[in-house]
Structure 1
Amino acid sequence: MSDIIVEHGTTSDGLMAARVDGLAYIAIPLKEGFSIVSGWKLNRPIGEWSRSDVYCAESAVADEVSFRAFIADIALHVRQRNALGRVDTILRVSTPWGMSQSATIYAEGIVFHSTAGHAGFKLDRVRNAGMNPALRLSGGWYEEDAEWAFVAAGYPDLFTYREQVMADRALRDWYPDAWEALYGRELSAAESFTRDRQQFAHRHAKDWVVISAVRSSDHPGMVEALATVGGDRKSHETRRFLVRVGEYAAGRHGFVIVPSRHRNVL
């Protein structure tokens, strides 16, 4: 693999920062830990960077050791990506998201297209036929938000280790049926966001679950929480409950009302 340049330093406003082959990363302090925010083509010395130079939230880390580990992972990803020999080009192709404005050829028959508003992979007929049936989409188009993970799982040798890990996480969280068919075992709720949500929905199918909430103007220190049975947003039967501000937290899948503790109000 070709070597790349990795630099660490401190920004003009005293923040941890690093540059990896043209990619810029700054660690923004949070109440606990740091948010890693990235930018592109910051050619100035790191000491001249500032918080305003980066704009894309990437991850969160606990400390400097974790930040450096994140940067090392990015460096490995860039080395592997460069070694894969992807080719950037322009192909005048109509996609489900509009005309392609730029394209990256991953391999023969596998092309990633970017448009003005969206992006995704196009697999030709042969490549799409070569996909595992659990991953294959008819037509060969795989959008960039989540379906790209099907392509990465179907042709892992064309993706970096970091991309493979991200794809596996995406499949577990959003397409657990496909993941289970691919690997031949069931996912637990702890392994999949969707499976966890399904378990929550089953457990609270008869409970009142909050679908929206606002700070109450009539009841100081309280949140007015609008809830439906099972958190069904299509339901026309709603009730409004009062929850103490310090207690209310939306949670991963929703806040569950306890009628004996949360007063129902008109």
Structure 2
Amino acid sequence: MTAPTLPTTMTDDSAAGFPEVEFGRSSDGFLAARVADTTFAMLPARDGRHYLATGWCIGRPISEWKLSDFHGRSGDLADEAAFRAKVAENAEHQREKRALGRRDIASTANTPWGPSQGATVYAEGVVCHSTAGHGGFHLSAERNRSVHSMLRARGGWYEEDEGWSIVAITFPNLFTSYERRCAERTIRDSWPDAWEAIFGTMLQPGESREKDRRAFEQEHAGDWIVVAATASDQQPGFVEVVATPGGRRGAGTEERRFLVPSDEYRMGRFR
């Protein structure tokens, strides 16, 4: 059956005319969208599911796009409505980011991750550096004093994987709504004690990965937990696993090995 043709949808910011948003169907019939130079697709996964794929600067019309144009993978999608919500979220993010007026500058500063190859100035004393392998923020001494003591890094360097979120919750006016939501999630997941102290609230089960991990390890401290697994070469259809008490590692830790039927083996959230 031929997929129905989606109407092209355009939205823009009334003040800046940015970004243009376009929906359509690819040459393979999958749902796709463009937000300025960022491109998205709703691609099939296993068991009838879908995932959000991303690309960059595809110059051709959406009707000519192919699977090979997409390389990034950004999570599962429940349905078309979820896809459209993700596209709208990105459009909002790009509009707000443009309004913030961040400036890209040349930089050769020394960072904990190597020489800077360029930087983005968010505000005076708040600079994000890129390097060959990693990157992150540097806060001036004055700016760094504004960071809560439980999260403050000596020297004012905050790496781009998780540490950036500390900068974002400290200076929320310098970040988009989307970035602030991601930062809050990262702080709850990685530094739950700091979150609870700063915001005066107790995180419940399911609200913090780190807090849930601690609870899991406490609950299963006396259980045998898998620390390594591989498909069995000698017993097809089975997974060979190595388990230790409480999932502990290190010299002198007792180990046991088990064969588990492949169709019964599932990786849990914490092993």
**Cα distance in 2 between the residues matched to 1:218 and 1:40:** 45
**What TM-score do you get using the length of structure 2 for normalisation?**
0.90
Aligned mates of 2:133, 2:214 — CA distance in 1: 32
Residues 79 and 241 (structure 1), Cα distance of their counterparts in 2 relative to 1, 3 Å cut:
same
State which of 31, 56, 75 in structure 2 corresponds to 1:40. 56
- Pairwise mapping of residues 43-192 of structure 1 onto structure 2 (< 5 A)? 43-192=59-208
* CA distance in 2: counterparts of 1:83 and 1:71, whole angstroms: 19
- Note the residue ranges of structure 1 that are not aligned, 5 or more in a row: 255-266
CA deviation after TM superposition for structure 1 residue 217, in Å: 3.6
Candidates 232, 240, 251, aligned match of 1:216 = 232
> Structure 2: where are the runs of 5+ without partners?
1-14
Q: What is the match of residue 40 of structure 2?
A: 25
Instruction: Using CA pairs under 8 Å that are at least 6 residues apart, name the structure with larger relative contact order, 1 or 2.
Output: 1
Deviation at 1:243, TM superposition (A): 1.9
Moved more, 174-183 or 76-85: 174-183
Task: Give the aligned partner of residue 16 of structure 2.
Answer: 2
CA shift at 1:194, angstroms? 0.8
Q: By how many angstroms is 1:180 displaced? A: 1.4
1:202 Cα shift?
0.4
CA separation in 1, counterparts of 2:265 and 2:159? 36
CA distance in structure 2 between the partners assigned to 1:64 and 1:23 by the alignment: 18
What is the number of residues matched between the two proteins? Answer: 254
Matched to 1:241, the amino acid is F
Q: Distance in 2 between matches of 1:71 and 1:220?
A: 43
Whether 1:246 aligns to 2:263 is: yes
SS of the counterpart of 2:215?
A: helix
Match for residue 196 of structure 1 among 196, 208, 212: 212
Contact residue 120 and residue 148 of structure 1 kept, 8 A: yes
Query: What value does the CA root-mean-square deviation take over the aligned residues?
Result: 1.4
Q: Which amino acid aligns with 2:266?
A: A
Q: Which residue of 2 aligns with 1:262?
A: none
SS in 2 for 1:200: helix
How far off is 1:33 after superposition?
Answer: 2.8
Distance in 2 of aligned mates of 1:54 and 1:178: 38
1:56-79 deviation digits (Å, cap 9, x = unpaired): 112221111110111011100100
Cα separation, 1, equivalents of 2:197 and 2:228: 36
The AA in structure 2 aligned to 1:117 is: G
